Structure 1
Amino acid sequence: MLPINVFLTIDTEHSIGGAFADPALKPVGNDKRIYGRIGGRDYGIPLQMEIAERFGLKLVFFVEVFNRHFFGADETRRVVESILRRGHDVQLHLHPNYLNFTLARPQDLTCSDLCADYPLARQTELLAEAREMLIDCGAPSPTAFRAGCFGADEATLKALAVNGFLLDSSYNQAFLGGPCRLPDWGLNDLAERDGFFELPVTNFIEQTGLRPRRPMPLDINGVSFEEMRRVLAAARDGAGPRNVTVILHSFSFLKAYDVQYRRARPRREVIRRFEKLCRFLGENAGDFSVRTLDGLTRNDLAEMARDRCDTFPPMPPHLSLARFGGQLLDRL
């Protein structure tokens, strides 16, 4: 049997930093939200790349570009260049709330942060603009997209197809009915729909007995390494998706105590968790193939989606309960 495809995806984005609520504040840029700089050390994407490279792995960075409306072009250009220089993948991410900075009063929040709040024609325009912005920053023509807050709908997929994209990765079962406005297709694996491809963020079913069963995404900040390993083992054994997508953020390794990141610390447990995941994938390369999205053709994606398995692996309660304890310690 072919190895399971694994995608380690990083939403790479800045922060509004409370600027909409308080005009005296400014958005938080590269130093804190992208590079994660604390005390002269980087705990953001430079560390994420270093850990992945230690085990021979490549990462997929979904890079947000509309921050240009506040920061200008060079902020994201430096980020894209640093990623490509190290051989990782750059694809498109979008938070349309930065459009508010083009208005006289950004605090009026005229522009929604969810792509799904815009009609098809406007989404098509926004995605065309964002695509050109990313290319202008030095990235190859992107073929994949993830909406900020997973806030896509079916119009988003149509707008992406018009703009030459092959794949969306906004579908997240845990966010359906909230910011993710895509229909509940029950997806947990790469799927082709009308010639377009959807790569969902992988979910499992949490069942602790303390609250109703619910889907949980493979977010490096939200689940334990043991839970991720359990999902990967299920996929390898034919009881889970053939294409597993893990999500983290450029700032996942930081714990900020204020919206401006004036006081922050490294989340060392999350860093160790990512190291464990990368080591596991590196040591089990015969079972798991960590891949990027650049260079994949429509035929490649169709073949990868052919034997899809939309099963949501159930998680033994003791693993989720152990995670609760770790999250409590992190908050303290």
Structure 2
Amino acid sequence: MLNVFLTIDTEIWPFSPGWPVRPLASDKLSFSEEIDTYLYGKTTQGEYGIPFQMAILNRYGLKATYFLEPLFADKVGIACLSEVVGLIQNGGHEVQLHMHTEWLSEISDASIPARFKQYMHQFSLEEQTALIGKGIRNLQAAGVKEIRAFRAGSYGANLDTLRAALNNGLSFDSSHNFCYLGTDCKIHPSALMLQPQKMEGIWEFPISFFQDYPGHYRHTQLAACAFNELKTALLDAWQAGWFSFVIVLHSFELIKGKTPSILSLPDKTNIKRFRLLCEFLATHPDKFRTVLFSEIDTASIPEINAIKPLRSRFHHTARRFVEQGIARLT
């Protein structure tokens, strides 16, 4: 049985030119448009954000981890964070910690660094420990029941990030993204990491990926892969006896066009992919089960030395190029 982690990075970004290099204007008091767009997916044809995602997940009996960014609450208000936490947990899914340090440009808290840097790995171990602690406190204040996992914004973690997570009592990290190594991600294992591995005292659950054409790799993000690419990768991982398969999407991934004062449009391509993925997972319970980090017993994680990356099929990748070309024109 392959454990599938449907992980949804959940965050908001201010509609403000030049942010975060240029701080928000002092009269920027309302974030209702950002909340409607990035969390609820409001469009000209209805909402396609968190409630819509959970409705489909629940229809198929699936579970998801919402990696929720909590630093924004210091600027936007704890009420919004609490509302989202309640929505997710009451829907039968879990909240874990995500962090975009860009929000430090808006936060006044003596316990954490006073100025933003884009990536967690740009901070010292002591600073990262304080930042993760701050994120945990915000989530707890908003009603999160159990915090066991962390993912750095833009996958921008290093080994100190794992040490900082462990210092705060966390058991899991899911920041390692092979496709971002050498740029945003600085978690460099000694060998190719395809399955969970214990590093710096914490279990690292890498984002799954596959080779889509010779010399090139693609991580399993909904917006980045055709459904048949994801389907093939899941089946191949199951056939290979893998323990876990980590898929990424965002709270706003089912909409397109995020512009202030203009309603977004539904992203019909991504919506279709999401529906097909959920249906596929649900109709193969003998092969796949969606799992939450709060359900994982660390003692049960096997050591699987998978050394062969997954591979897409040429016709599936070719179809994705056609699919995405059409989507850009519509």
What's the TM-score, normalizing by structure 1?
0.90
**Aligned match for 1:6, one of 4, 7, 19:** 4
Matched, 1:151 2:153: no
Contact kept, 8 Å, 2:211 with 2:217, in 1: the verdict is yes
Q: Distance in 2 between matches of 1:310 and 1:161?
A: 27
Contact kept, 8 Å, 2:9 with 2:67, in 1: the verdict is yes
2:48 matched residue in structure 1: 43
Q: Distance in 2 between matches of 1:110 and 1:193?
A: 29
Q: Distance in 1 between matches of 2:306 and 2:14?
A: 38
Written as runs of structure 1 = structure 2, the 5 A alignment for 1:280-295 is 280-295=280-295
Q: Distance in 1 between matches of 2:2 and 2:289?
A: 6
Q: Per-residue displacement from partner, 1:152-174 (whole Å, max 9, x unpaired)?
A: 00000000001000000000000
Compared with structure 1, are the counterparts of its residues 280 and 261 closer, same or farther at alpha carbon in structure 2 (3 Å cutoff)?
Answer: farther
Q: Distance in 2 between matches of 1:124 and 1:102?
A: 17
**Aligned match for 1:204, one of 189, 210, 235:** 210
2:237 matched residue in structure 1: 235
Q: Per-residue displacement from partner, 1:202-223 (whole Å, max 9, x unpaired)?
A: 000111xxxx521201100010
SS at match of 2:157: coil
2:194 matched residue in structure 1: 188
Written as runs of structure 1 = structure 2, the 5 A alignment for 1:1-332 is 3-19=1-17, 20=19, 21=22, 23=24, 29-39=34-44, 41-102=46-107, 110-184=115-189, 185-207=191-213, 213-238=215-240, 241-256=242-257, 258=259, 260=260, 262-299=262-299, 303-307=300-304, 309-332=306-329
SS at match of 1:245: strand
Q: Per-residue displacement from partner, 1:48-101 (whole Å, max 9, x unpaired)?
A: 111111111011100000001320111111000000111101100001110101
Amino acid at match of 2:308: T
Contact kept, 8 Å, 1:241 with 1:311, in 2: the verdict is no
SS at match of 1:216: strand
Q: Per-residue displacement from partner, 1:114-161 (whole Å, max 9, x unpaired)?
A: 111100000001111111110111001300010000010000000000
Displacement of 1:324 in angstroms is 0.7
SS at match of 1:251: coil
Moved more, 19-28 or 7-16: 19-28
Q: Per-residue displacement from partner, 1:227-246 (whole Å, max 9, x unpaired)?
A: 001101101211x7430010
Displacement of 1:37 in angstroms is 1.4
Contact kept, 8 Å, 2:44 with 2:264, in 1: the verdict is no
Amino acid at match of 1:66: L
1:106 matched residue in structure 2: none
The percent identity for this pair of structures is 29
Q: Distance in 1 between matches of 2:45 and 2:288?
A: 35
Q: Distance in 2 between matches of 1:85 and 1:293?
A: 17
SS at match of 1:87: coil
Contact kept, 8 Å, 1:190 with 1:308, in 2: the verdict is no
SS at match of 1:18: coil
Unaligned runs of 5+ in 2: 109-113
Contact kept, 8 Å, 1:114 with 1:151, in 2: the verdict is yes
Contact kept, 8 Å, 1:187 with 1:200, in 2: the verdict is yes
Moved more, 308-317 or 197-206: 308-317
Contact kept, 8 Å, 1:69 with 1:99, in 2: the verdict is no
Structure 1's consecutive aligned runs of 4 or more residues displaced over 4 angstroms after TM superposition are 21-28
Q: Distance in 2 between matches of 1:318 and 1:31?
A: 37
Q: What's the RMSD between the two structures over aligned residues?
A: 1.9
Unaligned runs of 5+ in 1: 104-108
